[in-house]
Each structure stands twice: as C-alpha cells, then as structure tokens.
Amino acid sequence: MGSARTALFNWLFARHCGGEMVLRVEDTDAALKTQEYVDAIVEPLRWLGIDWDSGPHFQSERRDIHGAAIEQLLADGTAYYCDLTRAEIEERCAAAGLPVGYHGWSRDRGVSDGPGVVVRFRCPDHGETVVEDVVRGRVGFPNESLEDFVIRRGDGSPTFHLANAVDDHHMGITHVIRGEDLLNTTPRVMLIWQALGFGEPPVYAHLPLLVNAKRQKLSKRRDDVALHNYQRRGYLPEAMVNHLALLGWGPPDDVEIRPLDEIVELFDLAAVKPAPAFFDPARLDHINSAYIRALTPDQFADRALPFAAGVGAVDGDAGGMADGQGASEDAPARTERVRAATLRLAGDLQQRVATLTDVAGWIDWIVADDVVCDEKAWHKSIVKGRAAAEVLEAVEARLARDDFSSAERLEAIVMGVGDDLTESIGARVRSQPPVRVALSGTGAGLPLWEPMRLLGKEETLRRIRAARERL
RNA sequence: GCCCCCAUCGUCCAGCGGCCUAGGACGCCGGCCUUUCACGCCGGUAACACGGGUUCGAAUCCCGUUGGGGGUGCCA
C-alpha cells in the first residue's frame, strides 16, 4: 500500500506535467532478484491502473556501469576497501569508547581487495550536505553525523545508494519522489553524485509516511496492507486510487471524490502535506460505496458477479471466492440466478453495499434453496406481530391469483392486505414484516417485490406456506 | 545515544499575518423522508500540543519545550 501510494504520486506528478514515468526495480541485493518480488511490484500497479512509459528496468542488469563508478571512486580516493566484520567494528568501538557505528576504521589501513572485502564511501568530515526537498524545504545533514557507508558488498554487488546515483544520472531522472523513510539516505546518494561529478542533482520530494492507527509506519507483518487483499474483498481500484490520492494531498476545491483525470489536473507536488497520514479503512469504505453507487447496473453486475458467484452454495463461501468445490452440478444454474439478481436488483444493492463482497449478504436468501430463519426476527414479526397468521393467509391467497409480472402489483397486493386487516380489526396491521420473515428469514433487507419475482410464484408461495405451517 | 522529519476536530484535507466566533469530508449522535433496511436531506458533536518571542494583529513567522514518527545494515 505504501509503495502503491508512492507510485501513484509519482504517476500523478508525471501525468500532470506531461512527463515520463520510469519504472525501475531496485534489486541490487541478490535476495530481491526474484520473480515474486517483481510481481509484487507490478501486479498492484496494474490493478490500480498506474502505468509507466519506460521499464521495468532492473538495476541488477546494470552491474558493469555500477562497477565502473565504484572503480572511479576507488581511484580518486573517495572510496576505500574495508574487511572488518560487524563484530570487529563493535569491538573497535568498545575499545575506543565510541558509540556503535562505523568511524572510518579502515580509511588508512591499506586493505586490498579480495573475497568478502567491501568498498566504503569516504564521507566528508566537515560541512553539511543539503537536500532541497519539494515537500519539506531545505534539510541539512551535518557531515560529521554521516558514517562511511558501504557502496559495494563483499560479493561485489553495488548497494542501492551507489546504484541510484549512477542510474538516476544515466537514465536522466529529473524527479525522485519517495517515502520519507528514505530521506536520511538521500545525503549518501548526493555525496556519491557529487563525487562522480554528475552536476545538478534531481529534484527530491519525500512523501509523508502512511501510518497505522498507532501512528507507526505501515508494516507488512502487522498491518493490513497487501493490495490484493483489498481487491479480494471487493474494493474497486478506482476507489482505492482516489482514497490514496487523498492521503497527504487534497484538491484546492475540497471536492474529494472525483474522476482520476481531474485529480491529475489538480495534483500539485509542492502542496503535499509533510505530516504522516493514517490509512482510515472507514473512509475507504465510504469512497468505495460512492464509486459503487456511480456504476451503471450493467457495470455493477459485471463487477459484482465474481464476488457473489458462490452465494447460496451448499457449503457456501460468503466471501464469494467459492471455487465450485463441493458445489454440485447446479452451480451454473445458481450462477445464473446470481447474475439475474445482481442485475435486476442493481440499484437497490448499489445503495446498500460498501464493497462488492457485501452483495452476497443481501441476496443469499433469493438465491439459496431455502430460508435460514433468524429466530429473533421470527419472534418479533410473526409470533408477536399483530395478525401475522391472517396476513400470511390473505397474502398467500391473493398472491395465488397473480401472475407475478409486476413488482408494483406485488407490492400493492401485500400492502393491501395490511390495509384491509387494519380496517377490519381496527388496529394498525403491518403486512410487510411477516411476509419478509417468511421469505427471507430476516427482519430487514432489500425491498421485497422484485425479489419475489426472482424467487418466482411457486417458491414465494411455498415459503409463505412453510411459515404458516410452522405457525 | 546520535541524525532527520512531523504537530489544526477521533480520522483525512482547508487555512500559507487581519476574511477564523477556524471551513469541508469520514466517523459518531439526533431529526426528516420511508409500513423494513438503505440511499437522500437537515442539524449537532469535536481541533489550532505547550511556553516564549516578532507584529498594531498569529492557527499562520521565529526560538524552545513536550509529544509522535523515521533512520542509524554488506535491506531498500
């Protein structure tokens, strides 16, 4: 999620300026050179609709260019070899009474290259390295606080600071927009940049971090951040993009939910707020439901179907991810019923769901073979409901004479029963509650009339009869 | 420990020296609409962390304090 937000802001900025978006995979560490790593970057971007004009480029394929830069730094003395292990460094610190860290230990030891030997960058001992940041202004780092960092590992591979300086220069990168967690490493890249004589550095912008409710940087381990989980739970990518765009930035006119092209139009990198932002799931729900409501019935049905396909299955997976396993040969028939229900009830469903997976919960009683009865609702509307038995009896009788061709007429019939009984009894009789419980088993839900048509005359009457028998 | 960043309603975003008795959105709480639920509409709740300056005037500028966060790897 954090990476997606960073990518989105890069994309918004590039599109806003008519610039070029470059996708570069920073896989200098061997552990990152895997297909899963690349997929984890590319798939969420594709889902969100964030595209790029160049790449993906892989830093791991540019080893020789990085190697040449390292040689250059070694040759002019800005870099040197070091063979100290972590433990040895700590020993030296302890012996010298210095805080843990690398205090230029190998600067003058004359170490020569060999297996396991690293190359470190010689940081200036005085002065200051300044990052001119678009969202934060001038950020200065005293050079004394910078430690001689590794630019080439023991296995010969470059670290990302080195690779970034070199690649940004060679690839003509003009703007580097990334998370604030990288702000502290920027002086390293700038120092390398200067040492290599690259001239004017790119423009930097460090975005505020996305944090959890406890205001900590989002973490894969403890926070719900995997985008595919949101996809699976029925969030629309366009809603996710809209929500993400609103974290750290807001349109000048306060219109928050709006088409992407307008966001591109209005986006302003310099207006990004520097404070961390909480990813609020409740707000995502609100935005997602707004996007769902804006869909046409056809679009809604198309997009909801994959999430509702398993509804009503014998061992039904309400999450909609049913794989058909255990769901018998009537699965295709059920899918057809689900499709018909989502399409014909689209409007009613759209104003009631926050995510596409919610659809299942509203239509399961229409699609399932039988009613799952909520006993509390049964008690309230049928046992305690005024004249419930008479209502069901009359409704059944009158419905039996109808052909179910009009939802409006079905409504008039059921409501008419209530009105007639109210008059004859002399007390208010509500006919809808008992009918609702008889048909759906619950006390609240969708308007009943179109679902009754979906259920069909036969099944509707059967359920009413079943309720009467139970009474 | 050291370095860096941040600080307006519970949350997100406005505000960039006077238009602020601080605005919008989400959430929450009421009400209206409705013979269910929901949508919609109306209303309410709720914030400039604290202390010093600067200024005729500060949420807005400066300094400090406090609080939060990030970094401190042969990860990125």
Average pLDDT, stretch A58-74? Answer: 97
Specify the pLDDT at position A333: 80
Say yes or no: Cβ of A418 under 7 A from any atom of strand B.
yes
Reading the block at residue A40, the tokens are 């984890």
User: Which residues neighbour A36 within 8 Å (Cβ) at sequence distance 6 or greater?
Assistant: none
Q: Which amino acid is at A428?
A: R
Q: How many CA atoms lie within 13 A of A195 on its CB side?
A: 27
- Determine whether the distance from the CB of A252 to the nearest atom of strand B is below 7 Å: yes
Separation between the CA of A301 and the C1’ of B14 (whole angstroms):
37
- Kindly determine whether the C-beta of residue A258 is less than 7 Å away from any atom of nucleic acid strand B: no
A98 CA to B55 C1' distance (Å) = 47
How does pLDDT run across A196-217, given as a tens digit for each residue?
Answer: 999 999 999 999 999 999 999 9
Interatomic distance A233 CA / B68 C1' (Å) = 32
**How far is Cα A183 from Cα A188, in angstroms, rounded to an integer?**
10
pLDDT in tens, A301-328: 999 999 987 776 544 443 334 343 444 5
Look up residue A143 and give its two tokens.
């050079």
| A183 strand B contact, CB < 7 Å | yes
pLDDT, position A342: 95
Strand B contact residues in chain A (184-243), C-beta within 7 Å: 184-185, 208-209, 211, 214-217
Residue A274, CB, strand B, below 7 Å:
yes
**A257-268: average pLDDT:** 96
Strand B atom within 7 Å of A118 CB: yes
Q: What does the block give as tokens for A312?
A: 């009503």
**What span, in angstroms and rounded, lies between the C-alpha atoms of A246 and A51?**
19
Nearest nt by C1' to A146 Cα: B3
Share of chain A above pLDDT 70, in %: 96
| Euclidean distance between CA atoms A197 and A163, whole angstroms | 15
Is strand B less than 7 A from the beta carbon of A263? no
**Protein-contacted bases of chain B (C-beta within 7 A):** 1-8, 10-16, 23-27, 35-39, 68-76
How far, in Å, is the CA of A358 from the C1' of nucleotide B45?
Answer: 30
Q: Is the CB of A253 under 7 A from strand B?
A: no
Q: How sure is the predictor about A100, in pLDDT bands with cuts at 50, 70 and 90?
A: confident
- Could you tell me which residues come within 8 angstroms of residue A120 by beta carbon, excluding any fewer than 6 positions away? A79, A80, A81, A82, A102, A106, A148, A149, A150, A151
- Find the nucleotide nearest A120 (Cα to C1′): B74
Using the predicted structure, report yes or no on whether residue A95 has a pLDDT greater than 60: yes
- Subset of residues 428-457 in chain A with CB less than 7 angstroms from any atom in strand B: 430-433, 436, 443-447
Measuring alpha carbon to C1', the residue closest to nucleotide B23 is A254
Residue A412 beta carbon within 7 A of nucleic strand B: no
Tokens of A129: 């390295």
CA of A355 to C1' of B43 (A): 29
Task: Look up the protein residue whose alpha carbon has the minimum distance to the C1' of B25.
Answer: A256
Q: What pLDDT sits at residue A325?
A: 40
Residue keyed to tokens 């069909």: A456
The share of chain A scoring above pLDDT 90, in percent, equals 87
Q: Which residues contact A302 (CB under 8 A, 6 or more apart)?
A: none
Average of per-residue pLDDT values in chain A: 93
- Tens of pLDDT, residue by residue over A285-303, are 999 999 999 999 999 999 9
Sign of the dihedral through C-alpha A437, A440, A441, A442: negative
Give me the pLDDT at residue A315, please. 44
A330-to-A249, A319, A327 alpha-carbon distances in Å = 50, 19, 8
DSSP secondary structure, A193-208, as one string? HHHTT--SPPEEEEEP
- Residue A77 tokens read as 């003395």
Q: What is the DSSP letter of A151?
A: E
Q: DSSP strand E in A83-197: where?
A: 118-121, 128-133, 137-142, 150-152, 175-179
Confidence of residue A346 (pLDDT cuts 50, 70, 90): very high
Query: Which tens digit of pLDDT belongs to each residue from A8-57?
Result: 999 999 999 999 999 999 999 998 999 999 999 999 999 999 999 998 99
Q: Is A417 within 7 A of strand B by CB distance?
A: no
Residues near A325 by beta carbon (within 8 Å), at least 6 away in sequence: none
Q: How far apart are CA A238 and CA A258, in angstroms?
A: 10
Four-residue CA torsion sign, A122, A126, A132, A138? positive
Instruction: Tell me the CA–C1' distance in angstroms for A287 and B9.
Output: 20
**Chain A residues 351 to 390 with C-beta below 7 Å from nucleic strand B:** 351-352
